[in-house]
Amino acid sequence: MPIIVTDTADIRTLTLDRPEALNALTPALLTELADALDAAAADDAVRVVVLTGTGRAFSAGVDLKALAAEPPADGDVSGALNTPARRACDLLSQMPKVTIAKVNGHCYTGALELALACDLMIVSDAAKLGDTHAKWGLRPTWGMSARLIRAVGVTRARDLSYTARTFTGAEAHAWGMASQCVPADELDTTVDELAAQIAANDPASIAAYKDLYRSQQDRGLSDGLGYEYTTMYDMGDAADRLGTFGN
């Protein structure tokens, strides 16, 4: 199976597992990933979802053999890739759990779109990332144009997309795309500790924050403030948590 599912307490790790192909994305892999994300979103025992890859890569992006099997029309990859990839990205960005991209190595194009759909990105200092759509005569269809400008600003996004150049984990951190860049041998521990720290907090509060932050990206300031002031959430853990204060 191309996806390995691992549970540690209330943290679920989904690992892309095609190391012989640098975890390249196929319709079957993307469908299995979307199904695994759907299951994680529905599982009340899961509070944080980590997405990563086996071996030297997070993922090298779309498998070129999959593209050859159904050549892109007007730069748009096939629906066989688009449909599960968009479902996976929507789940990563919208599920009421924190999603973390643990970028251990190569992370290009479609894989970068998956990573950008996560709430947080933690990168190894050995990571290499890039938006290479233009190199292959493609255009983004999984959210790159919307998410990359929000991650690094429109000017840098244009630079990265127009040149199709690769960049380092350290650059991703310096630009604000990644929240942390750490030595490769510290990546697992760093993500484990971060995920545990998040999971210790109230899941209803986290779900509310996730919805609120997403809404702010989609609205102007006045509308965003109104949404925050008036939107109610089903939350009931505050009294118990406040009762532990000072203990």
Q: Kindly list the domain boundaries of the chain, sorted by start residue.
A: 3-199, 203-243
Please calculate the CA angle 231-87-107 and round it to the nearest 5 degrees. 110
The stretch 233-244 carries a mean pLDDT of 58
pTM: 0.90
Whether the predicted pLDDT of 124 surpasses 80: yes
Whether the predicted pLDDT of 119 surpasses 80: yes
Task: Report the C-alpha gap between 205 and 98 in whole angstroms.
Answer: 11
> So what CATH class is 3-199?
alpha beta
Q: Is there a contact between 92 and 51 (Cβ–Cβ < 8 Å)?
A: yes
Task: Report the C-alpha gap between 62 and 109 in whole angstroms.
Answer: 8
217-227 per-position pLDDT tens digit: 887 767 766 77
Amino acid at position 239, single letter? A
160-194 per-position pLDDT tens digit: 999 999 999 999 999 999 999 999 999 999 999 99
Whether the predicted pLDDT of 238 surpasses 50: no
